Amino acid sequence: MTDFLASTGYSGWILPALLALLVLGALVVWVHGIVTHSDDPAEQARAAQGARRITLAFFVAEFVLSVGLWWAFDPSTSAWQATVSVPWIDMWGSRFSVGIDGMSLMMVLLTTFTMPLAVLGGWTSVKTRVHAYHAMLLLLTVGMLGVFMALDLLFFYVMWELMLVPMYVIIGVWGGERRIYASVKFFIYTFLGSLLMLVAVVYLGIKAGDPVTGTPNFSYDAIISTVQHSPTAALWLFGAFFMAFAVKVPIFPFHTWLPDAHVEAPTAGSVVLAALMLKLGTFGFLRFAMPLFPGAAMDPAVRMTIITLAVIGVIYGSLVALVQPDFKKLVAYSSVAHLGMAVLGIFALTRESVQGAMMVMLSHGLSTGGLFLLIGMIYERRHTRLFSDYGGIAKVMPIYGTLLTVITLASIGLPGTSGFIAEFFVLIGAFKTVPWMTFVATIGVILGAAYMLWAIQRILYNPLDKRENEEMKDLNWREIGLMTPIIIAILWLGLYPRPILTRMEASTTRFVQQVEAGSSPSATAAVPGGR
Amino acid sequence: MPLNLAYPGELSLAILPELVLFGGAMLLALWSAWKPESASHQRSVGLAGLVLTLVTAALVIVFAMRGYTADTGPIAIDAFRWAADLILLLSAAIALAMGVEYNARHGIFAAESHVLVLFATGGMMILAAARDLMVVFLAFELMSIAVYVLAGTNRRNERSAEAALKYFLLGAFAAGFLLYGIALVYGATGTTNIELIGERIVSEGLGDSRMLLAGMAMLLIGFAFKISAVPFHMWAPDVYEGSPTPIAAYMAAGVKAGAFAVLMRIWIEAFPDAFLDWHYAVWWLAAITMVIGNVIALQQRNVKRMLAYSSIAHSGYLLVALAAGTPAGSSAFLFYLVSYTLATMGAFAVVSVAGRDGGEALTMDSLAGLWKASPWLAGAMAVFMLALLGFPIFGGMGFFAKWYIIQSALQSPSPQTRLVVVLVLASVISAGYYLHVVMVMFMKDRRDDLPAPARMGGLNRFVIGAAAVIILIIGIFPDALATFTRDSAVPAGGAAAQVRMSSASTSR
């Protein structure tokens, strides 16, 4: 396989091709929408079906293309791979520069893996303006992949903001009852967080720039290896990046946009938000906020504050999830808890905990994505998400019951599923550096089991006492088909995570060393940056 | 090729584009009075005016490529002037194209309205070229008087008359400030030539002259009226609301651009060495303008008033480029102006056709569900709103415009970090109302009694489409325009100019 890929020069074109394919897809869907425009409902339905198929085809092609990265990636090195760099805006010293390391490899694959499933998940629920909806999904994915690959801070920022508008429109146009409120809240929160980062990005670019001509330089490597900050400046800059990522993760108390956005978004929107977009925040810490400003991030006061907030998030998210009457809201709050665990792992800064944080990101992507898809399926049948309207569903929908149980067990971290590996790694890693906080976070894991099990009990196992529920049809082939890959991935991550861990190991180790070296006071002059 | 402006022949060569524009405008004025008022006559005069702006723009491009220069004199011949001219002519062309169709729809048959746009544009072009405070004042009045009349072109509408009167009274007041400021600066430095002022401030150590300080303050107030910076902005919303929409767009973009261009030149060429004197005044003016403009815009439910407050807020962003006090600031200003002109005028163009029966969309509600009724119009409006918000890709070059301003402010010898933070926080506030428009168009249902927008004319369609497409394309490939604006910066004045000249003479 590796030889075959090398013979096509795979690494030389794959990353730009992944972005270009999606842009092309969005254009094709858009043009298809214009060409097939008609007032006849039957024609409209046919055109809509066409849009779904085109989008699915593009996303499947995207996944097939990206899978080659698995083999083309060399796990022995932490250097950037598959890099492509062409001039973009010479005058501002910005290049279209992309590349991946082990961490971004996994995030790219998670994205390309999830998107076709998200499209299938919204196959029948989105009925109006279908073309625009799918074009937005395609553009949204461009932004996410762009952030994971970007090696130029200006390009990164553009991609980071690019995601905002499609998501805003997806929530606001195809969402639930309070969609407008939720979409505006989502936009303003994220925009506020990221604009301060814009100032920090410009500042860094100017600092790394050519002192004679004044041309800035936004290359990640150049910035990390040349720019020196005073502790105060580093703290402010870290703060600006922190705000952007903390809102995205979200870290308590910046999380209040999340329940609204998740609940009001259509199924595919919730899947993308929970499975992928939240990870952009944690990924931002791993790629940008901490390596760029190790001194500020590892300042004891800053670090403990963030870890405390993360642990509060774990406990608070779990407790609030426990009392939710609405299944979707419960899962939304559970995301706050899980991502708190990931942040704990990142800031605990041991090799195990960082590996664990990456595993939490992957595992949460799979399990929460799966949960939102499953919620979407019963919502389409009954148009309610309240626990009190369900009960005994397992009797009428046995396949659904099985799938929901498996995904739930993955979410609470039963051994043998991805969730176990993830939380286990975070906890043993973090215990070395922040034992008390880790102890408190462990309580969150127990609470997690409580709210998830209680939730599926109320949905699946209580007496079947509502007549409407007796009529519910079990899953059809499309729905089974779209859940199968998720189940397989969850079990694979849980039973044999080694190939994944090896691919990430070099990058996570480098991350830990880089941050440790940069934060130790004696070594401020010799930041091991230039890769 | 250096021109000696002491010779009348070479002086008139230096202002040939303006002369062509004025000459053409006078002929058009005669022609427009030749026939009785009618829709078709109004249309042909407007189209002829459009052709005249394009001819002038071509001439400007030729002059820019010929590479004329002039060392001293009342008229500047440099890249900044040509770049500013092109932007001013762009706004004039858009205003004329919009006006031809708008006037026909609203029964404004006075063909002179188009001629007045041309006169005002000529005034602005001289403003951009002025290198002498007397020329500045003349050009300022030439521009203003034409625009006072334009604000009242819709004679049947009493709001239009109110707008004209209000604008005239406050404008006259501002002109008084300006003239007094010029007199004081002359008193302090003994010259009205902008370049000489800069040199004398250095050579005679006028950095803390009280008279100079007072003169600068008066000048700043005079300009602040025209660019509607807070707290001198009160007239803008009323005037924009009352004026015919194309004229409001022209005032928001062109008039502001003209006043700003000369403000940039005076401040960068004449006062760079008095930086500490004026810096805090401009700093606070910028900060207050950004915050107040955006906060009040949030509450507007009339689209034209909302755009008026938005244009006030954008004056604040442009003042950040001025506060940088460097030639790079003037490059950022030019780049910003292209984006702002296209987005603001495009938005006004959409407003002028998107309402009931192809009329104006005056309230936010009349934009509701525009996506269903007219998807292209809604898409273009979304682009304009996001460009004004400064959003990447979807807002196209609006993002890079803000980016350039932030960069120039941070690259200044005294980095304006705090002002930049105010700028981005103010941008977050502006998301509230720009997104509101997007939300109303895309997420609200259209009221049943609201008919689809009428088919608009070809000119309007071209203006809206071209503006949106240019914004999007430059939003992906900004390098060419950024390089062009960098090379069109205002030449640094004062001590920097002396250093530049002495190094040039030693190298010779």
Using omega within 30 degrees of 0 as the cis cutoff, is the peptide bond preceding A211 cis?
Answer: no
Q: What does the pLDDT read at residue B355? A: 67
Q: How far apart are CA B191 and CA A331, in angstroms?
A: 73
Which chain B residue is nearest to residue A142, measuring alpha carbons? B393
User: Is-contact A294 A349, C-beta < 8 A?
Assistant: no
Confidence of residue B490 (pLDDT cuts 50, 70, 90): confident
Taking contacts as CB-CB distances below 8 angstroms, the residues of chain B near A183 are 439, 443
Annotate B292-340 with DSSP letters as a single string: HHHHHHHT--BHHHHHHHHHHHHHHHHHHHHHH-SHHHHHHHHHHHHHH
Give the Cα separation of B363 and B152 in Å (integer).
22
- Which of A158, A184, A202 lies at the smallest CB-CB distance from B410? A202
Average pLDDT score over residue span A289-301: 89
CA distance A15 to chain B (A): 18
Q: Which of B334, B287, B314, B301 is nearest to B430 (CA)?
A: B314
Q: For residue B486, give the nearest of A91, A154, A184 by CB distance.
A: A91
The DSSP H or E segment spanning A417 is: none
Express each pLDDT in A444-482 by its tens digit: 889 999 999 999 888 888 888 888 888 888 888 888 988
d(CA B307, CA A364): 44
- Distance CA(B102)–CA(B459), nearest Å, equals 10
CB atoms within 10 A of CB B62: 12
pLDDT band (50, 70, 90) for residue A530: very low
Q: B152 in helix, strand or coil?
A: coil
**Cβ-based neighbours of B491, under 8 Å, separated by 6 or more:** B78, B80, B269, B327, B497
**Contact predicate B393/B352, CB 8 Å:** no
> What is each CA distance from A499 to A2, A70, A414, B427, in whole angstroms?
15, 10, 20, 46
pLDDT digits (tens, 9 = 90+) for A127-180: 888 899 999 999 999 999 999 999 999 999 999 999 999 999 999 888 888 888
Beta-bridge partners for A87: A95
Q: Residue A43: pLDDT band by 50, 70, 90 thresholds?
A: confident
- Interface contact B427, partner A, CB < 8 A: yes
| ipTM score assigned to the predicted complex | 0.91
> In 3-state terms, what secondary structure has residue A82?
strand
Say if residues A519 and A298 touch (Cβ distance below 8 Å).
Answer: yes
Q: Per the CB < 8 Å rule, is A158 touching B407? A: no
Q: How far apart are CA A275 and CA A482, in angstroms?
A: 15
Residue-wise pLDDT for A46-84, tens only, equals 888 999 999 999 999 999 999 999 988 888 888 898 889
A202, B482: Cβ pair inside 8 Å?
no
The number of residues making up chain B comes to 508
Torsions phi, psi for A209 (to 5 deg):
-75, 180
Of B328, B431, B443, the CB nearest to A180: B443
Q: Give the minimum alpha-carbon distance from A182 to chain B in angstroms, rounded to a whole number.
A: 12
Classify residue B77 as left (phi > 0), alpha (psi -120 to 50) or beta.
Answer: beta
pLDDT of residue A525: 43
Q: What share of chain B is helix, strand, coil (3-state, %, to 5)?
A: 80, 0, 20
Count CB-CB contacts under 10 A for residue A484.
Answer: 12
Rounded mean pLDDT of B120-125? 94
Interface test with A, best of B410, B422, B436 (most A CBs within 10 A): B410
> Does B276 contact A at CB distance below 8 Å?
no
- Positive or negative torsion for Cα B298, B301, B305, B310: positive
Beta carbons within 8 Å of B146's beta carbon, 6+ residues apart: B116, B117, B119, B120, B123
Instruction: Report residue A509 as tokens.
Output: 């180790």
Record: contact B424-A198, CB cut-off 8 A: yes
pLDDT-derived band at B62 (thresholds 50, 70, 90) equals very high
**How many Å apart are CA A29 and CA B316, to the nearest integer?**
40
Round to whole Å and give the CA distance between A250 and A228. Answer: 29
Peptide bond connecting A497 to the previous residue in cis, omega within 30 degrees of 0: no
Q: Is B439 on the interface with A (CB under 8 A)?
A: yes
Band (B354; pLDDT cuts 50, 70, 90): confident
d(CA A192, CA B501): 46
- Taking the Cβ of residue B391 and every Cβ of chain A, the question of whether any pair is shorter than 8 Å is answered with yes
Q: A363 and A490 in contact (C-beta within 8 Å)? A: yes
Which of B407, B417, B428 lies at the smallest CB-CB distance from A191?
Answer: B428
pLDDT at site A17: 93
Nearest to A356 by CA among A364, A492, A307: A364
The confidence band for B497, taking pLDDT boundaries of 50, 70 and 90, is: low
pLDDT per position as a tens digit, A333-362: 999 999 999 999 999 999 999 999 999 999
In A194-233, the residues whose Cβ lies within 8 Å of chain B are 195-196, 198-199, 202-203, 205-206, 214, 216
Q: Which residues numbered 178-197 in A keep a CB inside 8 Å of some CB on B?
A: 179-180, 183-184, 187-188, 191-192, 195-196
Cα separation, A25 vs A13, whole angstroms: 18
Residue at token pair 């903390």: A246
B417 touches chain A (CB under 8 A): yes
Cβ atoms of residues A376 and A267 within 8 Å: yes
Amino acid (1-letter code) at residue B38: S
- The overall average pLDDT reported for chain B is 88
Question: For residue B303, how far is the Cα from the chain centroid?
Answer: 20
How many other CB atoms sit within 10 Å of the CB of residue A513? 13
CA of A165: which chain B residue's CA is closest?
Answer: B394
Residues from chain B that touch A157, judged by Cβ atoms under 8 A, are 392
What integer pLDDT is reported at residue B452 of this predicted model?
A: 65
Q: What is the pLDDT of residue B508?
A: 39
| B472 close contact with A: CB closer than 8 A | no
Q: Encode pLDDT of A239-281 as tens digits.
A: 999 999 999 988 988 888 998 898 888 888 899 988 899 999 9
Grouping H, G, I as helix, E, B as strand and the rest as coil, residue A177 is coil
DSSP-assigned beta bridge partners for residue A86: A96
How high is the pLDDT of residue B491? 81
User: Per-residue pLDDT for B506 more than 60?
Assistant: no
pLDDT of B92 higher than 60: yes
CA-nearest residue of chain B to A177?
B443
Can you give the three-state secondary structure of B382-406, one letter per residue? Answer: HHHHHHHHCCCHHHCHHHHHHHHHH
Q: What is the pLDDT of residues A393-414, one digit of tens each?
A: 888 888 999 999 999 999 988 8
| Predicted pLDDT at A516 | 87
Angle at B50 between CA B244 and CA B136, to 5 degrees: 75
Tokens of A31: 């043009």
How many angstroms away from the CA of A494 is the closest CA of chain B? 40
Which residues of B are less than 8 Å from A269 in CB distance? none
Residue type, B179: L
Contacts of B393 in chain A (CB under 8 A): 158, 161-162, 165
Q: What pLDDT, on the 0 to 100 scale, is given for residue A127?
A: 84
Kindly determine whether residue B483 and residue A172, on different chains, have CB atoms separated by under 8 Å. Answer: no
- Say if residues A108 and A66 touch (Cβ distance below 8 Å): yes
Write down the residue that tokens 């390309």 correspond to: A112
Residue A103, SS3 per DSSP: helix
pTM above 0.90, yes or no: yes
- What letter would DSSP give residue A219? B
Q: Which two three-digit tokens encode residue B205?
A: 């150590």
Between B410, B443, B482, which is nearest A206 by CB?
B410
Tally the residues of chain A. 531
Phi-psi region at B190: left, alpha or beta (left = phi > 0; alpha = psi -120 to 50): left
Per-position DSSP letters for A125-158, written without gaps between them: T--SSHHHHHHHHHHHHHHHHHHHHB-BHHHHHH
Residues 6+ apart with CB under 8 A from B72: B5, B193, B195, B196
Spacing of C-alpha B265 from chain mean position? 14
**Two tokens at B289?**
């303008």
Round to whole Å and give the CA distance between A172 and A168: 6
Q: Within 10 Å of residue B24's Cβ, how many Cβ atoms?
A: 20
What's the Rg (C-alpha) of chain B?
22
Q: Are A447 and A318 in contact (CB under 8 A)?
A: yes
For residue B455, pLDDT beyond 80: no
Cα dist from B202 to A478, B99, B218, B325, B497, whole Å? 79, 48, 21, 16, 11
Using an 8 Å Cβ cutoff, are A336 and A311 in contact? Answer: no
What whole-number distance in Å separates Cα of residue A364 and Cα of residue A417?
Answer: 11
Q: How confident is the model at residue B379 (pLDDT cuts 50, 70, 90)?
A: very high
Mean pLDDT of B284-305: 92
For residues A125 and B126, the model is more confident at: B126
Q: Which two tokens stand for residue A267?
A: 């199924």
Return d(Cα B396, Cα A312) in angstroms, integer.
40
